Amino acid sequence: MEEFEDNKRTWRNPAELTPDENAEMYFKELGLSWQELQGKKVLDLGAGPAKFAQAARARGIDVISLDKHPEWWAHTGGPAQDVPYVVGDGLRMPFQEGVFDLVVGRASVHSIVNDRPQLDELVTEVKRVLAPGGEFRFDTGFVLKEINEAEWKEWNILLEKVLNQEQLTPEEDARGEELFNRVEEEKKEDEEFENLTTEERVMKVKDIFLKKLQKIDPTAKTFLKDPKSNEYYYLLTKEESSSAQT
């Protein structure tokens, strides 16, 4: 528990950080350095006030900031005006395919996705804008529901048909089996959290989140932010194209 108390004491609002302080937080939490970013085109997903891009610009590094809600930072004067800033949704990004070498998401992915289907959408979209061999790094695994609200409604409609002994089409039957398995998986995950300590729950969240991520993308891995902590960041890699490998 001491580790979590230390994190609470050292946490600072990103809006209060200087650009360089903000960049140091990115590096600490995503395993990066200025040297690694040299010559790369970077997308900051959920960039907030865009201070990371400001620090990068001062070093000649190309970072584009993307955020759906720049108004959230109006109380701080709004996002930085001297760096490229795009207002957009991480699930439907207004970029061409293969334009970024690195996509980063610091403390932002949990505000973009609410459930496993949306995580699937995000990974697919990030892979689309990444160049072959490019990486997606983000921190903070979190409790992720296996099915969304619309799918719950769909499940309940199918369940009602079964209870009323209505005939299901082959497509409905297959869909019902898929949703049933995911409902049962979510129940099992909830049961696994019972009787765990706070630290154990944090590790369980990490393990479950990684498992869901690897179902979407087998390249997904976790890395320790700091050898002294139990905090991780996640890394996905877009495979090199066959033409680039030959």
Q: What is the CATH number of the domain that holds 56?
A: 3.40.50.150
Hey, CA dihedral for 228, 144, 101, 41, is it positive or negative? negative
User: Which residues make beta-bridge pairs with 44?
Assistant: 65, 104
Based on the domain organization, do 61 and 175 belong to the same domain? no
Q: How many domains does the chain have?
A: 2
Q: Is the domain of 113 the same as that of 214? A: yes
* pLDDT value of position 15: 67
* 157 in the same domain as 129: no
Copy the structure tokens of residue 95.
């970029």
Residue 189 contacts by C-beta under 8 Å, 6 or more apart in sequence? 146, 208
Domain span holding position 175: 149-189
Alpha carbon distances (Å) from 16 to 75, 98, 111, 147, 182: 11, 34, 20, 36, 41
- The 3-state DSSP class for residue 85 equals strand
Task: Verify that 93 and 164 share a domain, yes or no.
Answer: no
Q: What are the start-end ranges of the E strands in 118-192? A: 130-139
Q: Does residue 103 share a domain with residue 157?
A: no
C-alpha to C-alpha distance for 62 and 100, rounded to whole angstroms: 10
In sequence order, what are the beta bridge partners of 236?
136
In this prediction, residue 233 carries a pLDDT of: 92
Pair (168, 206) in one structural domain: no
C-alpha 64/C-alpha 129 separation (Å) is 13
Q: Residue 14: what pLDDT?
A: 62
Strand partners, 218: none
Q: What is the pTM of this model?
A: 0.80
CA distances (Å), origin 128, targets 59, 98, 107, 117, 182: 27, 6, 21, 17, 26
Regarding whether 167 and 89 lie in a shared domain, the answer is no
The confidence score (pLDDT) of residue 34 equals 96
Residues 135 and 209 grouped into a single domain: yes
Given a contact cutoff of 8 angstroms between Cβ atoms, the answer to whether 108 and 122 are in contact is no
What pLDDT shows up at residue 116?
A: 86
pLDDT at position 242 is 41
Residues 129 and 174 in one domain: no
The pLDDT value given to residue 114: 86
Statement to judge: residues 74 and 167 lie in one domain: no
Closest C-alpha to 130, from 229, 41, 38, 15: 41
pLDDT values of the chain reduced to their tens digit, one per residue, 246 residues: 444 344 444 556 666 789 999 999 999 999 999 999 999 999 999 998 999 999 999 999 999 999 999 888 887 777 888 899 999 999 999 999 999 999 999 989 988 998 888 999 999 999 999 999 999 999 876 777 788 888 888 989 999 999 889 999 999 999 999 999 988 888 888 888 788 888 888 788 888 889 889 999 999 999 988 777 677 899 999 998 644 443
| Cα 113 off chain centre by | 7
Residues 156, 133: one domain? no
Q: Give the Cα separation of 211 and 154 in Å (integer).
A: 25
